[in-house]
């Protein structure tokens, strides 16, 4: 085990590394100016601040923005390859965070459109205010659903939530690391709503864990 990994494990035991910890969040914000300089040199200064990126992406390898970009491009590749996303697609991302995939799709969607939703206001606001995404015509909406960590003040339940979009509004809907945090009844409602919002022949891509019998069956 290398020294960096040992130090990382020690810090996790000593400090609850999370943006909700005031001390840790203060340190993250102190790193913002230096992170911006690095991103400026790399030509990616349009990305969100470091202290914003870590809210939904974790702090590991986030400094400088390259990992943020690479992961976004990887998801965009999967969307194009397996979910039929093309330059004319009208896309909805549920759980967009601070725009990791939105930035990757910015040069992919020509006559199509992108709409992102998230329950965490700070990350969402960074997308709304981002000039790069604004110039692309990307739209972002608040997903007002209760979540103990990200949105504890909401009274709306995930298993009863009705999305604000009309029937057959999108060609593609995708969710990355969303269902992994949800209960079965909540997921069932989301699937029903996604089906309603998708056009005929539309696609949905999601990430989730394979557990129990499914894993044993070799799927």
- What's the pLDDT at 19? 58
Among residues 48, 96, 52, which one has the least CA distance to residue 76? Answer: 96
- What's the pLDDT at 180? 82
- Which class for 128: exposed (0-12), middle (13-18), buried (19 or more C-beta within 10 A)? middle
Among residues 156, 146, 150, which one has the least CA distance to residue 120? Answer: 150
- Which class for 17: exposed (0-12), middle (13-18), buried (19 or more C-beta within 10 A)? middle
Q: Are 36 and 49 in contact (CB under 8 A)?
A: yes
- What's the pLDDT at 85? 93
Domains and their CATH numbers in the chain:
3-67 (no CATH), 71-206 (3.40.50.150)
The C-alpha torsion from 190 through 196 and 201 to 206, rounded to 10°, is -10
- What's the pLDDT at 214? 53
Compute mean pLDDT per 10 residues along the chain, 219 residues long, and list them. Answer: 51 51 75 90 92 78 86 94 93 94 92 94 94 95 87 88 94 91 89 95 86 53
- What's the pLDDT at 217? 47
- What's the pLDDT at 140? 97
């Amino acid at each position: 085990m290398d020294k960096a990994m040992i130090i990382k494990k020690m810090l996790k035991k000593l400090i609850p590394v999370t943006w909700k910890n005031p001390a840790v969040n203060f340190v993250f914000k102190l790193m913002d100016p230096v992170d911006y300089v690095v991103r400026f040199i790399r030509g990616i200064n349009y990305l969100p601040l470091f202290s914003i990126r870590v809210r939904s992406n974790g702090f590991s390898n986030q400094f400088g923005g390259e990992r943020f970009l690479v992961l976004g491009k990887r998801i965009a590749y999967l969307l194009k390859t397996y979910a039929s996303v093309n330059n004319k697609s009208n896309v909805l991302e549920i759980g967009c965070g601070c725009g990791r995939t939105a930035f990757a799709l910015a040069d992919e969607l020509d006559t199509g459109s992108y709409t992102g939703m998230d329950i965490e206001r700070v990350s969402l606001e960074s997308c709304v205010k981002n000039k790069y995404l604004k110039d692309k015509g990307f739209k972002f909406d608040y997903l007002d659903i209760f979540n103990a960590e990200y949105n504890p003040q909401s009274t709306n339940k995930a298993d009863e939530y009705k999305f604000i979009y009309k029937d057959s509004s999108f060609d593609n809907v995708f969710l990355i690391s969303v269902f992994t945090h949800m209960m079965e009844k909540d997921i069932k409602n989301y699937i029903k709503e996604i089906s309603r919002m998708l056009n005929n022949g539309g696609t949905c891509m999601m990430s989730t864990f394979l557990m129990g019998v499914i894993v044993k069956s070799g799927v």
